[in-house]
Structures are given as C-alpha cells and as structure tokens.
Copies of this chain bind each other. A is one copy, B any other.
Amino acid sequence: MLVVMQHDAVPSDIEGVCRAIREMGYTPMPMPGGQRTAIGLLGNDGRVDDSHIVGLPGVAQVIHVSKPYKQVSREWKPSNSVVTIAPGVHIGGDHVVVIAGPCSVESEEQIMTAARAVRAAGATALRGGAFKPRSSPYSFQGLGKRGLELLALVRRETGLPIVTEAMDEAGAELVAEYADCIQIGARNMQNYSLLKSVGRMNKPVLLKRGMAATINELLLSAEYILAEGNSQVILCERGVRSFDSAARNMFDLNAIPIVKKLSHLPIIADPSHGTGLRDKVIPMARAAVAAGADGILVEVHPTPDRALSDGAQSLYPEQFAGLMQELRAISEAIGRAGAPSPGTVEL
C-alpha cells in the first residue's frame, strides 16, 4: 500500500498517517519526493482494510499494490487448475468444453430432446435451469425441484453431467443432490451468504460474472468460495452492462486473457447472454474460443420459438451442430484442443 500525501501536507499530517499505519500493526516507510511525500506500508499481505486512511488530513490518494485476493491468484498457485465435474469431464485442461442446453427445464420431453441433440453434436455437459432469477416477479420462474428431477433423469439417459443454477442456500443444497456443478448467476455474484454456503460444499461451482462486476470483484467473489474450503471453481464471462443498447450485454472477451494471467482458475464464456441474439451467438462463441476460453456455455432449445425464457438467444439444434464443427477447427488453429476422442464428451 502506498499513501500519497497532498502537495501541501504538513509534517503532522505525515506523522498522523504513520501513526495510523502503526496502529494497524504495520510499518510505515515515508518517502519524501520533489512534489510530494509518499508513505509505504510494509508487511501488507494484501488483506489490509485501510478505508479510513484516505480520509486522514493531508492524504491525496491511497494506492493498493498488493492484490486483495490470495488463493485464487496465480501467484498463490502458478499452474492452471483443472476442475473435474464428472468422470472424464475436465475444465481448464487442454480441451475446450461445451456446456449446452435450454435456458430453463420446461418439460420432460423438452429437456430430453435438447439433451439428445446437444449430445449428438458433441456437447460435454448439459445446462438447464430449474430455478430462474427473473427481473420481473411475473415471469416464469422455473419448475423448481421437479426440474432437478428431470435433469437427473436426463443424465441417466444421456450420460451428460448437469450444470444448473441455485439462487439461495436451501436451493444450493437441493441442487447439490441432483447436479454435477452448481451455477451461481450474475445477479448473485455478490450474494456472500450464498457464496459461503457453496464454499462449504464439496461440489464444483460455476461462478458467473456480475452484470457490472469488475474482474477484480469476480476474483474476490471466487475467493469467498475458496476461503471456505472449496477450490473447484470455474469462472464465467457472460457480458456486462454498457451504454449501448445494440446488444443485450457487452461481451467482455478481454476478461479471458486477463483472468488467465491473474488466476489459475479455469474460465469459460457464455455467448448466449453475452450477445442476447441468436445470430450473434455463433460468431461470438468462435471468438471466445479464439481468445482462449476453456469452454463455452451456450443455450440450445429444440424449438426456440416456443421457449418459456430466452428464446431469442437460443440456438436451433442444427445451428449448434454447425457451431461445434467451427469450434473444433478454431481450437486446433490455436493449438488447443485436438479432436475429441469419440468415447468422451469433450470437444
């Protein structure tokens, strides 16, 4: 931490900051400069809560040099983490994985048809919501426990591992019984009670970036889960809010290489929410893989025109099959994937 003093700070201001640093249990190191004095804080392990320092007399600015997170950082663990969500299904390794399926589980027929179609095209896992966070209380909110039962049924039939969202602590326990990976949605990225609760489970967690969360905050939210003991975390870029209404979200693919440098955790991308429109999903799914994503989370529906939610951004099964071929070619172009062996479900 570096405390930059104002141009006209007086010696008692400087002493005041040094005293505050000592009271926090650290050692201050004043560095007089030509224009102004700066004061370093030595011994900081990145977790200092210094919010009051910036308000002390004579302080111009407080600059954080250490990162506020620990266990998720690449400095803590230099090699890539690989999260295994089911036997043979690894995220963060050499292969690029594809998790596909409808936005919501709507009926046995719908979810079974969807699962078979994405399985046939080479998907690695099945997505499908049983609990749906919706902006409006009057929108379809998911089938709840019945949706989880249908997902379990489909897994038995197709062998596809299941990724599905939990919205609260009770829901997370239920999801953990039925699914292979618990998804935390964008709206709950800073629901710390929920993060702690899945941090105490022994189940992979897919953590989506919040609608206007910085990458730093995404990593801090992941740190909440690791701090409770669960290191099986997969991050997901899904588009953020912007000033432009031309797309539902602004898909921040820069996040892929940035997270790769800062953290050892795997990161995938969701071009369905990242764009919001079917005909943009395909080019942006390709872009995400080209940017280095460990996988793709994509909405596919047997009959998008009749979907109860997110129909406009869901791919038709035949579009998805074409996309899979392109993704394979791009993965190879960047030296990533290698063709999937037929017995496995990876790309």
Asked if A148 is at the interface of the complex by the 8 Å CB criterion, the answer is: no
Assess the B34–A42 pair: CB atoms within 8 A.
Answer: yes
Return the CB mask of A261-286 against B: 1 if under 8 Å, else 0. 10000000000001101111001101
Q: Name A284's contact: one of B49, B227, B291 (CB within 8 Å).
A: B291
The docked-state distance in angstroms from the alpha carbon of A167 to that of B196 is 12
Taking the complex as formed, is A83 at the interface, i.e. its CB lies under 8 A from any CB of chain B? no
Q: Which residue of B lies closest to A103 (CB)?
A: B51
Is the CB–CB distance between B292 and A290 below 8 Å? no
Quick one: closest B residue to A330, CB to CB? B333
Q: Which residues of B contact A188 (CB under 8 A)?
A: 190-191
> In chain A between 108 and 148, which residues have their CB closer than 8 angstroms to a CB of chain B?
133-140
Contact of A252 with B244 in the complex, beta carbons under 8 Å:
yes
A157 within 8 Å of B (CB atoms): no
CB neighbours (8 Å) of A55 from chain B are 277-278, 304-305, 311-314
A193 to B167, CA, bound (A): 7
The answer to whether A54 and B250 touch (CB under 8 A), given A191-B188, A257-B284, A290-B290, is: no
Q: By the criterion CB–CB under 8 Å, are A190 and B187 in contact?
A: yes
Interface string of A7-21 (1 = CB under 8 A from B): 110000000100010
Chain B residues with CB under 8 A of A192:
133-134, 137, 167, 187
Contact B261 A279 (CB under 8 A): yes
A339 contacts partner chain B, Cβ-Cβ < 8 Å: no
Contact A254 B243 (CB under 8 A): no
A47, A240, A253, A306 — most chain B CB neighbours (10 Å): A253
Q: Give the distance in Å from the alpha carbon of A23 to the alpha carbon of B70 in the complex.
A: 36
Which residues on the B side are within 8 Å of A220 (C-beta)? 135-137
Other-chain contact of A257, B44, B51, B280 (Cβ < 8 Å): B280
- B253 touching A135 by the CB < 8 A rule? no
Distance to closest chain B CB from A10 (angstroms)? 15
Q: Does A107 contact B (CB under 8 A)?
A: no
A70: chain B residues at CB < 8 Å are 138
State the CA gap A297–B314 with chains docked (Å).
32
Kindly state the separation between the CA atoms of A213 and B287 in the bound complex, as whole angstroms: 22
Separation of A261 and B257 alpha carbons in the complex (Å): 28
A182 CB-CB contact with B under 8 Å: no
A41-81: CB near B (< 8 Å → 1, else 0) gives 01111110101111110000101011011100001000000
Given A20-B305, A168-B193, A214-B246: A65 touches B52 (CB 8 Å cut-off): no
Show 7 residue pairs from A and B whose CB-CB distance is below 8 angstroms, ordered by the A residue.
A20-B305, A33-B40, A34-B42, A168-B168, A187-B192, A247-B258, A332-B333
Apart from A55-B277, A283-B290, 5 more pairs, CB < 8 Å: A31-B31, A51-B309, A52-B310, A137-B223, A211-B212
